């Protein structure tokens, strides 16, 4: 019940296209849903995050769509660029004093020029 399921495992998009990565969860106690971006040789870094009282959050070309009833959330990258090529992880937080993050399995995105 603490899993976060992420798909697809890999994604190839043409420059200028839209990249979409999906995640699903079971535990309704999750109260914070971030996306992390990881470039080769680096640790993951926070990209964008949303709380369940909001259905959408947009920051530049990156948008999270959140469907509380379906227990699903997704990352949309508009006008995808080669520099967006990275591994993307969705995550969910259980909250509480320990503030533990549960991660999805990751999506390797390649944006072709």
Partner 1 sequence: DVKVTQSSRYLVKRTGEKVFLECVQDMDHENMFWYRQDPGLGLRLIYFSYDVKMKEKGDIPEGYSVSREKKERFSLILESASTNQTSMYLCASRAPKLTMNTEAFFGQGTRLTVV
Site residues, partner 1 (CB under 8 A):
6, 9, 32, 34, 36, 41-46, 49, 89, 93, 95-106
Minimum CB separation of residue 26 from partner 1 in Å reads 15
H or E segment at 45?
Answer: strand 45-50
3-class SS of residue 82: helix
Closest approach of Cβ 77 to partner 1, in Å? 19
Tokens of 55: 């259905």
State whether residue 83 is helix, strand or coil.
helix
Which candidate, 22, 25, 24, 26, places its Cα nearest to that of 7?
A: 22
Tell me the closest approach of the beta carbon of residue 42 to partner 1, in angstroms: 6
Closer to partner 1 at the Cβ: 32 or 72?
32
Nearer to partner 1, 43 or 83 (CB): 43
The DSSP H or E segment spanning 64 is strand 62-67
Q: In terms of CB distance, is 59 or 79 closer to partner 1?
A: 59
Closer residue to partner 1 (CB): 22 or 81: 22
């Amino acid at each position: 019940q603490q899993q976060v399921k992420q798909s697809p495992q890999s994604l190839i998009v043409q420059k200028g296209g839209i990249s979409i990565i999906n995640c699903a969860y079971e535990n309704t106690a999750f109260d914070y849903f971030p996306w992390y971006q990881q470039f080769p040789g680096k640790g993951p870094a926070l990209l964008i995050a949303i709380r369940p009282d909001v259905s959408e959050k947009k920051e530049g070309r990156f948008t999270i769509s959140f469907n509380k009833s379906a227990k699903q959330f997704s990352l949309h990258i508009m006008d995808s660029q080669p520099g967006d090529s990275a591994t993307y992880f969705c995550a969910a937080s259980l909250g509480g004093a320990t503030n533990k993050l549960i991660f999805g399995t990751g999506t390797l995105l390649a944006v072709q020029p």
